[in-house]
Amino acid sequence: MTLFSQHSRRSVLLLSFTALIASTMIITTSDDADARRRRPPRAVTTAAPLPVVPPIPESNPRAAQSTEAPKPEEKPKEEIQKADPETPVPSQKPAAGESKPEPASKPDVKAGEQLGPNPLPKPEETGKNTEKGDQEESVEKVDPSISPDRVYQNACPALMNGEVEGSLIPPLSEGICGERSPLKITAIGKDNPVKFAAAITTNCAMAGSLANWIIEVQAEAQKDFGAEIESITTGSDYQCRKVNNGHKGRVSEHAFANALDIVAFKFKNGKKTELGTGWKGSPEEQTFWRALHKASCERFMTVIGPDGDAAHQGNLHLDQGCHGKKCEARICQ
């Protein structure tokens, strides 16, 4: 047998074996498909429904056992004092059977009575006026730890800057008359103060104007009398009255501490001059008083002298009253 015939025989056997395997696989696959078709369908199972009412949890047995929180043990007074001597020790509760200490007696308070630093005035005392000295003394004795009712007043720059000498006094009130922040002034002028023969009561506006006015008056006094002014004599300052002390007409500026009457001057060389006699007196007096009148009309809103009316023959009236719609008009007589 030749080599070619052997090789052909092996190929035929291999092909036959392969065909046998393929036919076996086909038969098996068809059998499986037939078995699946013959198998009955599976029954669908549904889950059981959940209960509508949830179960109630049982109470914790441990919570019933510990109903109250443990209290810390109280230390005796001796240990507290040793740890911190400055710590106040609370009073201990009395034991059973012991009597409780009586509380401190409280002051008897009548119905309607007000306690505090500022008791309301009684009805029978509302119409009474207290004296000025009593008011000032009561203000000085106020306890700083207590807050009394505040009196609203305005500070005065002329007083603070030393242009006038004096002090702020309590408010003035007499019906329509009065001034909330009056001053009691004893001298005017910062560099060379001029004293008043008697202290005057005025407001801050008048005080500032007088402080500037006296500078020009001092210069005129040295020019006409050869000496500085030592003191000034005045007439009316604060007075609750009508113009010229009349029974009718408008209220005077004196009623608001907004006016001052000048009567006379005393100089450091001993000379004196009064308006009543000096307006038509010696040449130096006439020059002085007329220069004073002119300087006053430049500083004040109202100036009335001997040429104005009969009521001012012996005093030169000065005030800062309002004239005209804009309070800019001046009266110089």
Sign of CA dihedral 185, 158, 332, 282: positive
For residue 294, CA distances in Å to 212, 265, 289, 300, 317 come to 14, 17, 9, 10, 13
The span from the CA of 111 to the CA of 118, in Å, is 17
d(CA 289, CA 280): 9
Kindly list the distances between the CA atom of residue 164 and the CA atoms of 207, 211, 272, in Å, as whole numbers in the listed order: 7, 6, 23
**pLDDT of 135 over the 50 cut:** no
Percent of the chain's residues with pLDDT above 70: 59
At 34 the pLDDT is 61
Per-residue confidence (pLDDT) for residue 148, from 0 to 100: 64
What pLDDT, on the 0 to 100 scale, is given for residue 322?
93
pLDDT at 188: 98
What Cα–Cα distance (Å) separates residue 287 from each residue in 126, 216, 293?
A: 54, 14, 10
Cβ count within 10 A of residue 204: 21
Cα–Cα distance measured from residue 303 to residue 332, given in angstroms and rounded to the nearest whole number: 5
Residue 109 has pLDDT above 70, yes or no: no
Task: Determine the average pLDDT of the residues in 54-69.
Answer: 54
CA–CA distance, 302 with 209 (Å, rounded to integer): 12
Fold of 157-332: Muramoyl-pentapeptide Carboxypeptidase; domain 2 (3.30.1380)
Lowest mean pLDDT segment, chosen from 17-26, 218-227, 263-272, 319-328? 17-26
List pLDDT tens digits, range 201-231: 999 999 999 999 999 999 999 999 999 999 9
Contacts of 86 (CB under 8 A, 6+ apart): none
Alpha-carbon separation of residue 105 from 101, 115, 208 (angstroms): 12, 17, 58
Name the range with the highest mean pLDDT among 37-51, 77-91, 315-329. Answer: 315-329
CA separation for the pair 262, 314 (Å, rounded): 9
Averaged pLDDT for residues 285-313: 96
Greatest mean pLDDT range, 12-21, 215-224, 238-247:
215-224
DSSP 196: E
Amino acid at 79: E
What is the C-alpha to C-alpha distance for residues 300 and 213, in angstroms, rounded to an integer?
9
Q: Is pLDDT larger for residue 142 or for residue 281?
A: 281
Q: How confident is the model at residue 130 (pLDDT cuts 50, 70, 90)?
A: very low
- Residue with more model confidence, 50 or 300: 300
pLDDT in tens, 147-199: 567 778 999 999 999 999 999 999 999 999 999 999 999 999 998 899 999 99
237 near 254, Cβ under 8 Å?
A: yes
Helix, strand, coil tally for the chain in percent (to 5) = 35, 15, 50
pTM of the prediction?
Answer: 0.56
Q: Where are the alpha helices (DSSP H) in the chain?
A: 3-38, 61-65, 77-83, 132-140, 157-160, 204-225, 275-278, 283-299
Given a contact cutoff of 8 angstroms between Cβ atoms, the answer to whether 239 and 215 are in contact is no
28/139: higher pLDDT: 28
Q: Identify the pLDDT of residue 241.
A: 94
Q: Is the sign of the CA dihedral 198, 201, 204, 206 positive or negative?
A: negative
Question: What is the radius of gyration, based on Cα positions, of the chain?
Answer: 57
Least Cα distance to 257 among 177, 330, 315 occurs for: 177
Q: How close are the terminal C-alpha atoms of the chain, in Å?
A: 174
Read off the pLDDT band of 30 (50, 70, 90). Answer: low
Q: How many CB atoms lie within 10 A of CB 308?
A: 17
